[in-house]
C-alpha cells in the first residue's frame, strides 16, 4: 500500500516553558497542554520552580527559543541578577526570545497593577488565578497558540472599569517613588529630578494622600506603591 505523503498531516512542534513555584500547578498546566490537539501538536515542556532556575534556562545559549511561556508573577526572586518576579522574567524572555508568546498568571486584582503589567509587558495572555480552571487554561492556550490575545474574565472586568476608578501618576511621581525606594533623601532628589524641592515635597504628600497614607512613612509609601503596581 502506497501512502501519499502529501496527505499526511504534519505535526507542529512547540517548545513550552512553565515557571511556577508550586509543583502541583505546573503539573496542572502540563496536563492541560498535553491534551490540546494531540494529533496536531507535539509539545516539548521545560519547567522551572523560581526566578533563578528560569533565568539560567532563558539565558542558556544552548537552549532553543521557546514558543510559549507560562509565568507566575509572584515567585522567589533571583536578587543577584535583579530578577524579582515573573514580570522581570517576561522582560528577559522578550530580550532573548522576542518571538516567544507570554502568558502571565497572577493573584493581583488591583486595576492599576493589571494596567501596568499590560503596559510594560503586553503579554499574549493574562489570567487571574482565581479565574483559572482546566477549561479556562485550555481556552487561554488555544487563543495564544493561534496568535490571539487572551485576558481572563476578571482582567476584562477590571479593564472595563471607568477611568475615574484608576490611580494615575506622571513621570515625576514615578521618579520620586523610585528614588524613595533606593533610599535617596528628599533633599537630594533635585539632583535627579528636574523640579524644585518644594514641588517634590508636595508631590510626596499628594502620593500619600492618593494611596491613603497621610500619616504613613516613606517605607509605607514604597510598600503600597508596589502593591498598587506603581513601583517595581
Of the candidates 84, 33, 140, the residue with the CA atom closest to the CA atom of residue 46: 33
Among 130, 159, 188, where does a domain finish? 159
**How many domains is the chain built from?**
2
DSSP-assigned letter for residue 168: -
Task: Show the CA angle centred on residue 181, arms to residues 176 and 184, nearest 5°.
Answer: 70
Q: How far apart are the C-alpha atoms of 155 and 111, rounded to whole Å?
A: 8
151 and 174 in a single domain? The answer is: no
193-211 pLDDT per residue, tens: 999 999 999 999 888 888 8
Domain range spanning residue 175? Answer: 168-227
121-165 pLDDT per residue, tens: 999 999 998 898 888 899 999 999 999 999 999 998 888 764 545
3-state secondary structure of 78: strand
168-181 pLDDT per residue, tens: 677 888 889 989 99
**Is 180 contained in some domain?**
yes
pTM of the model: 0.71
Nine-digit cell at 143? 487563543
15 and 105 in a single domain? The answer is: yes
Amino acid at each position: 500500500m502506497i501512502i501519499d505523503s502529501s496527505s499526511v498531516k504534519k505535526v507542529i512542534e512547540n517548545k513550552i516553558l512553565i515557571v511556577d513555584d508550586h509543583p502541583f500547578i505546573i503539573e496542572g498546566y502540563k496536563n492541560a497542554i498535553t491534551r490540546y490537539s494531540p494529533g496536531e501538536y507535539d509539545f516539548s515542556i521545560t519547567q522551572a520552580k523560581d526566578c533563578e532556575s528560569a533565568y539560567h534556562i532563558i539565558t542558556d545559549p544552548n537552549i532553543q527559543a521557546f514558543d510559549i511561556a507560562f509565568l507566575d508573577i509572584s515567585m522567589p526572586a533571583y536578587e543577584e541578577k535583579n530578577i524579582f518576579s515573573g514580570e522581570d522574567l517576561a522582560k528577559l524572555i522578550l530580550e532573548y526570545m522576542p518571538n516567544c508568546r507570554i502568558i502571565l498568571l497572577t493573584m493581583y486584582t488591583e486595576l492599576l497593577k493589571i494596567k501596568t503589567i499590560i503596559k510594560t509587558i503586553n503579554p499574549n495572555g493574562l489570567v487571574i488565578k482565581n479565574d483559572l480552571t482546566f477549561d479556562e487554561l485550555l481556552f487561554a492556550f488555544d487563543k495564544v497558540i493561534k496568535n490571539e490575545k487572551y485576558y481572563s474574565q476578571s482582567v476584562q472586568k477590571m479593564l472595563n472599569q471607568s477611568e475615574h476608578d484608576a490611580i494615575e501618576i506622571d513621570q515625576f511621581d514615578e521618579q520620586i517613588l523610585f528614588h524613595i525606594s533606593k533610599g535617596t533623601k528628599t533633599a537630594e532628589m533635585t539632583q535627579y529630578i528636574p523640579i524644585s524641592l518644594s514641588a517634590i515635597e508636595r508631590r510626596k504628600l499628594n502620593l500619600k494622600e492618593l494611596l491613603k497614607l497621610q500619616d504613613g512613612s516613606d517605607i509605607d509609601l514604597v510598600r503600597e506603591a508596589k502593591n498598587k503596581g506603581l513601583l517595581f
